[in-house]
Amino acid sequence: MSGSGQRRWGWHQLRSGWADRVVAAAQVRGHELVLDLGAGSGALTRPLAGAAGRVLAVELHPSRSRALRAAMADHDAVSVRDGDVLTMPLPARRFRVVANPPYTIGAQLVRRLTARSSAMVRADLVLPRWMVRRYLSNPPRGFTAAAGLHVPASAFRPAPRSDSAVLVLRRTRPPRRRR
């Protein structure tokens, strides 16, 4: 996809050193199921593969998901799915999210992940700083919000127009069990 097409969708790939920092700051544990939503070419999927018990990487664009599936073929704990993160079924068991989603869907994704029916317990989302500030002043019901790493525009290809940050959302009560 061309740089202008990537920009139109709000997709900005993290450079590998920054992806490593985001995953390290997320403090993922070896028994956790972690979703990389909007996985792209796998900048976060790769370091997550070495940190999490299971990784589910979801990518909307078939060419990127095919390339990621091939790149992660030797990692038994990683599954790559084609799909829209806004409509795909979320896991019924507790899960975490560490993702750099397209900026154009950031607010919709946060609403979906923090819905009462979601089993998500924590999310570390790379989002524009203005959006992170909005959630800090008004976190979703049932969650705390904190600012994680500051991620400069230069940490991405192509570079977005403004800096980003990691929004850390933590559930304040255990998720409801689905029936």
- Each residue's pLDDT tens digit, 53-68: 999 999 999 999 999 9
Instruction: Give me the chain's average pLDDT, please.
Output: 93
Stretch (H or E) spanning 104: none
pLDDT of residue 6: 47
Residues 6 or more apart whose Cβ sits within 8 Å of residue 137: none
Position 10 confidence tier, pLDDT thresholds 50, 70, 90:
low
Position 178 confidence tier, pLDDT thresholds 50, 70, 90:
low
Of the candidates 154, 174, 151, the residue with the CA atom closest to the CA atom of residue 100? 151
**Residue 69 burial (C-beta neighbours within 10 Å; 0-12, 13-18, 19+):** middle
pLDDT value at 3 more than 70: no
pLDDT of residue 35: 99
- Count the helices and strands in the chain (H runs, E runs): 6, 9
Average pLDDT over residues 142-167: 97
The response to whether 86 counts as a known ligand-binding position is no
The response to whether 30 counts as a known ligand-binding position is no
The response to whether 138 counts as a known ligand-binding position is no
With DSSP H G I counted as helix, E B as strand and the rest as coil, what are the percentages for the chain, rounded to 5?
30, 30, 40
pTM: 0.92
Domains of the chain (ranges plus CATH)? 3-171 (3.40.50.150)
The response to whether 31 counts as a known ligand-binding position is no
Of the candidates 67, 47, 65, 45, the residue with the CA atom closest to the CA atom of residue 56? 45
**Bond preceding residue 158 cis, omega within 30 of 0:** yes
The response to whether 59 counts as a known ligand-binding position is yes
Could you count the other beta carbons within 10 Å of the beta carbon of residue 33? 18
The response to whether 12 counts as a known ligand-binding position is yes
